[in-house]
Structures are given as structure tokens and as C-alpha cells.
Amino acid sequence: MSGMLIIDFERSGGFAGIPVKATFSDQVLNEDELNDLRHLIENSDFLLLKNSDNPDRLSPDQFLYKISVVTTVYSHSVSLYEQEITPGLRPLIRLLLDIARRSKH
């Protein structure tokens, strides 16, 4: 797999209220990270996810995630509350957080 991949990732909310924001692209990610991300995006049915439209679903201090993915063939953005994260999406978020945390250091 190859081609352009740009991901905007943001996690807000949480007890601390300290946001995590990062933008990744195929220009800066290494080959393993790129492969893992492409694989997880595909396996998480990311393109089928829709924005959360019910703010009442946010429990106090839980996280809100915003993820945008742009490739040469599609572009998709989604905002989800923490309890809406499906088991299939969790590994993708986990990897995005890991890369974001590593990129801070």
C-alpha cells in the first residue's frame, strides 16, 4: 500500500482537560507506522463512522475524539465521544495516541 495519507487527530476533554493534537502524514511517518495505520483504518470501518450528534451522551470527564483522514481516494472526518468508540476502532485510536505522545518527546 502506498500513496498520500494525512491524519488530523485531536483528543479533548478528560479530567485534566488537556488536549492532545497531532497531524501525521506519510511524509513523516515511518514505514511500519504507515502500514499499521492503513491496516487499522481499513479494519475499523472508519469510513462508515458518523459524527456523534447527541452531546447528552458525553459523560463527565470522558474524552472526545476528532479524527480526519485524507488519502488520494477519499477524505473522511468524524467526531466521537469516548463511549461511542467501537472495539474495532480502539486499536487505531491507541496507535494514534502512541504516535502523538512519542512525537511530543
Q: Which is nearer to another protein, 53 or 56 (CB)?
A: 56
- Is residue 61 within 8 Å of residue 18, measured between CB atoms? no
Q: What residues make contact with another protein under the rule CB under 8 A?
A: 12-19, 55-56, 58-64, 82-83, 87, 90, 94, 97-98, 101, 104-105
Q: Which is nearer to another protein, 24 or 63 (CB)?
A: 63
Q: Which is nearer to another protein, 25 or 103 (CB)?
A: 103
Give the contacts of 57 (CB within 8 A, at least 6 positions apart): 81, 83, 84
Element at 31 (helix H, strand E): helix 31-43
